[in-house]
Amino acid sequence: MISANGLIQLGYTPEVDFKLQDDSDGNGVYIKEWNSDQPQPSVADIEAADTIWQTEYDSQEYARNRKQEYDKLNQFEMQFDDQLNNTTTWVDAINAIKQEFPK
């Protein structure tokens, strides 16, 4: 299966090097335009690169989940309050997130 992620993993840039299209006819995605000066990779090469991309993406799920939780915190205010009140609220919150989403 041809995927943008596989082509990106191979070093190509969408809309610059290639354009994909799916006509919704059951035949799947295909390369509508190939603009790179490099030879067009085979479907097997694109599929292998997509597998690598997906593996790397999946391995970083914990980081995406942590970031989502970190973004919910007002970390600067928490750090300031901890310093002012000699507490560990911020550290405790960060550690709880890391424990919930381990590497």
The CATH number of residue 10's host domain is 3.30.56.60
Based on the domain organization, do 51 and 83 belong to the same domain?
no
pLDDT digits (tens, 9 = 90+) for 8-42: 999 999 999 999 999 999 999 999 999 999 999 99
What pTM does this model have?
Answer: 0.75
Q: Tell me, what's the pLDDT at 99?
A: 97
What rounded mean pLDDT belongs to the chain? 97
Domain limits for position 12: 4-59
Based on the domain organization, do 75 and 85 belong to the same domain?
yes
pLDDT digits (tens, 9 = 90+) for 56-82: 999 999 999 999 999 999 999 999 999
Q: Tell me, what's the pLDDT at 54?
A: 97
Based on the domain organization, do 48 and 8 belong to the same domain?
yes
Based on the domain organization, do 27 and 66 belong to the same domain?
no
Residue with tokens 């919930």: 100
Burial code (b: 16+ CB inside 10 Å, e: under 16) for 72-96 equals: eeeeeebeeebeeeeeeebeebbee
